Structure 1
């Protein structure tokens, strides 16, 4: 008897019966794409249960800088599985090598600890900052996302009427926790100086994505980052760069190496291990020595899977490839070509658009410029943004159809893939302009939705 081949809708329905919403992270269920079941991923592509293939520019929110299932990374993980396992005591040789590499590469990192996610890394960074300073307040910026924990679970993709007020992204957070977080405008140096003038003696830490990629790409002004450094130094506050996205994808030393602004602590993840679940927290030795990984340390730090051999092997293989092959040269060249090409496509259609990004990251906001702060992004035509990306799917090109989300180039993408994207972009934009209301109901459901992308 022939066994029936299950369709994506069959498998998705099974998932919904066993998993709330049918997915294991808040932004994996997309309005209009609720039956998407992925069965295979390789290089710059993935395939679904219904046989459709997509050139993947979403890239799981950014980790696979080398592309899906990079053969060198996969081989390193397989070798680790043959030689060592998670033992939960002591340290492995590979953990030592990875820690030494991170200390060597990232300017702020004198010592480093591994976690399993970026959210864990930012959680520990804020905890140790409060322990070191004895202070209460944390400063974050509108549009920046630093994980799922309570202190920073607010003011990411906020509706216009919620900008300027505390805007939690989840129920169940104690009000007094939110009240200990100050939310400022990104790229507003004067606002930072004013906050420190009023609250500086009680500010434990400032945490910032040096490039707020969770709302696409807002490029930082040097005066802004310099002001953060100066005010934290003057007040004795801890400056934390959240480089979970920008680290290694933009430069082996992170944005701090590009900008020349060195924070006290740095959180990392995503591109370190090309898709394997890893995070890291590193920085000044005096701060890192406060953790209980050092006997006598007062700040508790633990995690059963921290430094898992498979993850560490993936990270070492990824960093080795980035250091020895023209990874950044390749993805930067394709990224530049995409940004230039998309700008020409939209200009040719008379479609207002700001195409921006850095290196391998690109995003097209459908609005007139500038794009300096989150307030600017409120002008983005969310229906056009989401509708355009949904139409790309029909051309076999996948950019996440959620408002303000960035796209990524990997080492596995080719010039031909870029050609395909630009051709699809022209067709999708033209069709959306001609019939923009068709997808408005889906777009409206996707405009200011959830924000968590630290899988």
Structure 2
């Protein structure tokens, strides 16, 4: 059965035909995934793509990594979800996380990154007795109401409250302060005005949900100083940056240690696991410890299959040159794409970090979200749609980042650079303006 028929069946029983709003991409047509392995996936009609989207980043090792798959299969033969007590693997995973991530003294497992950030803010309010949460324009921290605002905002919505969903109570939005990323002055001013009522500051140390805005050290240092001075909880959302950029997360790179850290995605190479860890005095407030006032639960937390996947992933990240490989390919891609676009006379800023790259079609710099408003969205999306014709998959949604995995090769990079020249050239030649209604996405994926 071809994918057009399957897509029609899906739309009859699944709203929009997909199980996440990020998967229904305008202009992509019907897409039914039939098989994924290594750096590639194949659709139901037999077309194969080199995958740089990588499900928003989890499969750092590549799709269906054999060591991870074997660990999951072994877990299925020995233990199942029992919903009581703890398994030896859960203990080993917690020990590994506390060893690797500087801020993590104790850790709890969740099923998603959104749950981890939700619990981080809940326990921060429980610890401080305060109301306000600070987030930053362009950062995405999941689907829950307190942080579901001001991610990819239209120019006229920057500076105000820009919820990404209907159905959020105004009083919930009122308890969130939105500041510009990389503005130490804005942070100092917010604390001068509201410091006594700020429970938490939550930040993606690198806002990868709008591509890649690299943080300035003064900005991160100011967050730490102001939170310490005011008694507020600093939360690093490392769901993307954790493990993909460094085994200790961005906090290990920057030397700035938050109070709480949320993790996910690359921790288990695509299996659904998240984690929240940090200072023991904060973690002890959760009801997983009898008497803890901040309720914490989840039927699938610490599921044996995902814990086995995480342990296998971490073993491989620690024992093989994964980061060396993906960082080298990422640098080749960023350098090569910049040369391709320059040779074509295309205004571009190719940036990223390590295994992450993004092609903004604009002149630099890119410090804040306001800078990204200069990006030529029509060129960005049109270029990526044309890459599909050459067997390359980068998500054709504005500002979305791309990823390299351990399974990608130098030959794959050569293919990408050749396809980039053809796709960008074709998009320039047509000069076509795309209908971008619905093609921009306001959130990330948790």
- TM-score of the superposed pair, with normalisation by structure 2: 0.99
Cα distance in 2, alignment partners of residues 84 and 141 from structure 1: 42
8 A contact 1:353–1:368 mirrored in 2: yes
Q: Cα distance, 1:452 vs. partner? A: 3.4
Q: State the match for 2:224 in structure 1.
A: 229
Q: Say which of 79, 86, 90 aligns to 1:84.
A: 79
Q: 3-state SS of the aligned residue for 1:440?
A: coil
For structure 2, which runs of at least 5 residues remain unmatched after alignment? none
How far the C-alpha of 1:249 sits from its partner, in A, is 0.2
1:76-104 deviation line (CA, Å, top 9, x unaligned): 00000000000000000000000000000
Is 2:190 aligned against 1:181?
no
The one of 197, 207, 210 aligned to 2:205? 210
For 1:278 and 1:27, the matched residues in 2 are separated by 19
The answer for the alignment partner of 1:291 in structure 2 is 286
**Residue 416 of structure 2 is aligned to residue 424 of structure 1:** no
Q: Which residue of 1 aligns with 2:167?
A: 172
CA separation in 2, counterparts of 1:145 and 1:181? Answer: 13
Distance in 1 between residues matched to 2:443 and 2:127, nearest whole Å = 30
- Paired residue total: 446
Q: Which residue of 2 aligns with 1:446?
A: 439
Say if 1:26 and 1:450, in contact at 8 Å, map to a contact too: no
Match of 1:201 in 2: 196
Alpha-carbon displacement from aligned partner over 1:179-215 (angstroms, at most 9, x marks no partner): 0000000000000000000000000000000000000
- Paired with 2:442 and 2:21, the residues of 1 have a C-alpha distance of 7
Offset of residue 444 of structure 1: 4.4
> What displacement does 1:368 show?
0.5
Partner Cα distance (1:386, 1:131) in 2: 43
- In the alignment, structure 1 segments of 5+ residues that lack a partner are 1-5
Cross-structure match for 1:66: 61
Q: Say whether 1:397 aligns with 2:413.
A: no
Kindly indicate whether residue 378 of structure 2 is the aligned counterpart of residue 383 of structure 1.
yes
Separation in structure 2 between the aligned mates of residue 173 and residue 204 of structure 1, nearest angstrom: 20
> C-alpha separation between the residues in 1 aligned to 2:112 and 2:438?
28
CA contact (8 A) 1:150 1:177 kept: yes
Q: Does structure 1 retain, via aligned residues, the 8 Å contact 2:153–2:442?
A: no
Return the alpha-carbon distance in structure 2 between the equivalents of residues 47 and 53 of structure 1: 4
Give the 4+ runs in structure 1 shifted more than 6 A: none
| Structure 2 residue aligned with 1:155 | 150
Is 1:107 the counterpart of 2:102 in the alignment? yes
Let me know the Cα RMSD of the aligned residues.
0.6
8 A Cα contact 1:120 1:279, kept in partner: yes
**Is the Cα–Cα contact under 8 Å of residues 151 and 180 in structure 1 kept in the other structure?**
yes
Q: What whole-Å deviation, never above 9, does each CA across 1:234-264 have from its counterpart, x for those lacking one? A: 0000000000000000000000000000000
1:115–1:281 Cα contact (<8 Å) kept: yes
Task: Please name the residue that 1:252 is paired with.
Answer: 247
State whether structure 2 residue 10 is matched by structure 1 residue 15. Answer: yes
CA distance in 2, matches of 1:436, 1:342: 20
Is the 2:267–2:310 Cα contact (8 Å) retained in structure 1? Answer: yes
**Aligned with 2:352: secondary structure?**
strand
Say if 2:36 is the partner of 1:41.
Answer: yes
Q: Is the 8 A contact 1:27 1:450 kept in 2?
A: no
Cα separation, 2, equivalents of 1:91 and 1:251: 28
Indicate which of 120, 124, 135 corresponds to 1:140: 135
| Partner Cα separation in structure 2 for residue 298 and residue 130 of structure 1 | 11
Shift of 1:388: 0.2
- The match for 1:321 among 313, 316, 319 is 316
Structure 1: how far apart are the matches of 2:444 and 2:21? 6
Contact 1:26 1:452 (8 Å CA) reproduced: no
C-alpha separation between the residues in 2 aligned to 1:453 and 1:89? 30
Distance across 1 between alignment mates of 2:24 and 2:185: 39
Q: Is the 8 A contact 2:117 2:141 kept in 1?
A: yes
